[in-house]
Amino acid sequence: ENSPAPLPERAIYGFALFLGSWFGFILYLIWAYIPETWLFSLGLTYWPQKYWAVALPVYLLVAVGIGYILLFGMNMMSTAPLNSTDTITDNFAKKQQQKKFQEEAIPALRDIPISEVNRMFFLPEKGLCQSR
């Protein structure tokens, strides 16, 4: 039911949005460019100030530019600092179950504690994994 395939209803919605956005754009251009006296002479007097015809696009573009910087900054702020335990473990790893080791079976997936990982990487023992 929720497939993204094209349907007749979606085509109609799309076309209605297309016409609506063109209409809105032409209305915006009319309001911005035609002098106020001509609009008054037609009887249409209740428009917003023309100042906003320039101000709103400028606000929008500045907001987009600040959004880039804001996103970058929020990313940096939510990175865990070097002295937090979030770099070592988290709630899921603390509460994981320890499955029993079975012979000839693939070991279950689990979070290996960092002390064990370090010993495996950095303390070479005389074993099977000597690659030199």
Partner 1 sequence: MAEERRFRSASGVPITLRRRQHSASCRELAVRGPRLQLRSLSAATSAVWLAAYGLFALSENSMVLSAAIFITLIGLMIYLHFVKIDQESLLVIGSLGIQVTSSYASGKESTVFIEMGQVKDVVINEAIHMQKVIYYLCILLQDPEDPQGISEVVPLFQSSKPRLDCLIEVYKSCQEILEQRKTAPQSNEIK
Residues that bind partner 1 (CB under 8 A): 76, 79-80, 82-85, 87-89, 94, 113-115, 118-119, 121-123
Nearer to partner 1, 45 or 115 (CB): 115
Between 97 and 115, name the residue whose CB sits nearer to partner 1.
115
3-state helix/strand/coil string of 16-42: HHHHHHHHHHHHHHHHHHCCHHHHHHH
Nearest residue (CB) to partner 1, 3 versus 84: 84
The radius of gyration computed from the CA coordinates of the chain, to the nearest angstrom, equals 32
CB of residue 54 vs partner 1: minimum separation in angstroms?
35
Cα–Cα dist 44/36, whole Å? 9
